[in-house]
């Protein structure tokens, strides 16, 4: 090698490269231990963040089975109407959070694999390797917690939605179905009757003297009369038959019978049970009942309503 100042040749020792390497290694070893560990930790955290951001497909691979499980669970336990707008916002939020967790898990797994395949893990200290392992364990724990959180959240919203659905279809005073529930269940009863080759028996009940009870004894007494009628009506039909309070002092029922004669006997039996229940109470109230049979639910309930008002105008406390 030529010296630029003097132009003379300068010899370089053969072990110059080795000495330089040893000198640099000694300089690195002289760094404070805390600084070296901090540098290693910073390197790992940086790689983890980048890898987690670059793993959306890994997150999707975790999310897809969860969504499939939810749909399967919902199909087994009830109709798919539960996954409606009431579920949309919380499920989207939990899916996003779970996606971030899954992405971090996938990124950490990729880091561990890359470090071991490249042999870079051998160049790190034991502490840096333990940091990576601890991160993998932590993220796996977050995965388990994320799954549990989603299951609990969906279950809570499912219970809340079912509770609101029941309240929307139930009369809060008597516990019977309301008009909306009666219309919906009546259509189902119509299909069931056609399938079993039976006919519908639909009846409408109206209380006689109910206004006088309210005026004389108060609304608390009127509510008690309504509950008595509701209990007697429910007790006089089968558990799967349809009963409802249509509004005010008007009730209705719908069930299936073999023929018109059986329907007439059943409607008379229901009316007698209601009269007996009202006579045992301390308030003077009776009821009128109109019933009709047929294969069409809406037509049968219209005829029953018309018959009930005709019977009420002729003589109260009758069944036709």
Residue tagged active-site, from 208, 249, 296, 305: 249
Residue 95 burial (C-beta neighbours within 10 Å; 0-12, 13-18, 19+): middle
**Low-confidence stretches of the chain (pLDDT beneath 70):** 1-143, 146, 315-320
End-to-end CA distance of the chain: 125
Distances (CA, A) of 84 to 87, 160, 315: 6, 13, 50
**Topology (CATH) of 179-314:** Alpha-Beta Plaits (3.30.70)
Q: How confident is the model at residue 254, as a pLDDT?
A: 96
> How far apart (Å, rounded) are the C-alpha atoms in residues 88 and 60?
18
> How far apart (Å, rounded) are the C-alpha atoms in residues 146 and 135?
16
With beta carbons less than 8 A apart as the criterion, state whether 244 and 179 touch. Answer: yes
| Torsion angle defined by CA atoms of residues 10, 15, 16 and 19, in that order, rounded to the nearest 10 degrees | -150
Q: How confident is the model at residue 167, as a pLDDT?
A: 74
Q: How confident is the model at residue 101, as a pLDDT?
A: 57
- Return the closest-CA partner of residue 140 out of 162, 108, 172, 163: 108
Ranges in the chain annotated CATH 3.30.70.270: 179-314
> How far apart (Å, rounded) are the C-alpha atoms in residues 274 and 290?
13
Please confirm, yes or no, whether 249 is among the known catalytic residues.
yes
Q: How confident is the model at residue 298, as a pLDDT?
A: 94
The full length of the chain comes to 320
> How far apart (Å, rounded) are the C-alpha atoms in residues 146 and 71?
18
Q: Residue 319 pairs with which residues in a beta bridge?
A: 289
- Return the closest-CA partner of residue 311 out of 271, 273, 266, 261: 271
Q: How confident is the model at residue 157, as a pLDDT?
A: 72
Residue 169 burial (C-beta neighbours within 10 Å; 0-12, 13-18, 19+): middle
Round the average pLDDT of the chain to a whole number and report it: 72
């Amino acid at each position: 090698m030529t010296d630029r100042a003097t132009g003379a040749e300068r010899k370089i020792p053969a072990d110059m490269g080795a000495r330089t390497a040893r000198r640099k290694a000694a300089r690195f070893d002289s760094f404070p231990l805390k600084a070296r560990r901090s540098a290693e930790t910073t390197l790992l955290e940086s790689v983890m963040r980048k890898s987690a951001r670059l793993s959306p497909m890994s997150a999707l691979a975790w999310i897809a089975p969860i969504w499939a499980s939810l749909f399967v669970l919902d199909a087994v336990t009830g109709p798919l109407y539960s996954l409606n707008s009431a579920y949309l916002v919380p499920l989207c939020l939990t899916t996003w959070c779970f996606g971030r967790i899954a992405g971090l898990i996938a990124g950490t797994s990729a880091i561990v694999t890359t470090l071991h395949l490249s042999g870079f893990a051998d160049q790190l200290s034991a502490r840096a390797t333990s940091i990576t392992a601890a991160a993998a364990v932590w993220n796996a724990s977050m995965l388990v917690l994320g799954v549990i959180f989603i299951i609990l959240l969906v279950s809570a919203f499912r219970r809340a939605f079912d509770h609101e659905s029941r309240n929307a279809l139930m009369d809060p005073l008597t516990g019977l179905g309301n008009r909306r529930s009666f219309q919906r269940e009546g259509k189902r009863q119509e299909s069931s009757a056609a399938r079993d080759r039976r006919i519908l028996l639909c009846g409408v009940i109206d209380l006689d003297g109910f206004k006088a009870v309210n005026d004389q004894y108060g609304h608390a007494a009127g509510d008690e009369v309504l509950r008595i009628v509701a209990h007697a009506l429910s007790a006089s039909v089968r558990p799967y038959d349809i009963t409802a309070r249509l509004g005010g002092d008007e009730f209705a029922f719908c069930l299936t019978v073999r023929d018109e004669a059986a329907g007439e006997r059943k409607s008379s039996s229901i009316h007698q049970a209601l009269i007996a229940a009202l006579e045992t109470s301390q308030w003077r109230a009776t009821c009128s009942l109109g019933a009709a049979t047929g294969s069409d639910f809406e037509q049968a309930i219209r005829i029953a309503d018309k018959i009930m008002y005709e019977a009420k105008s002729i003589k109260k406390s009758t069944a036709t």
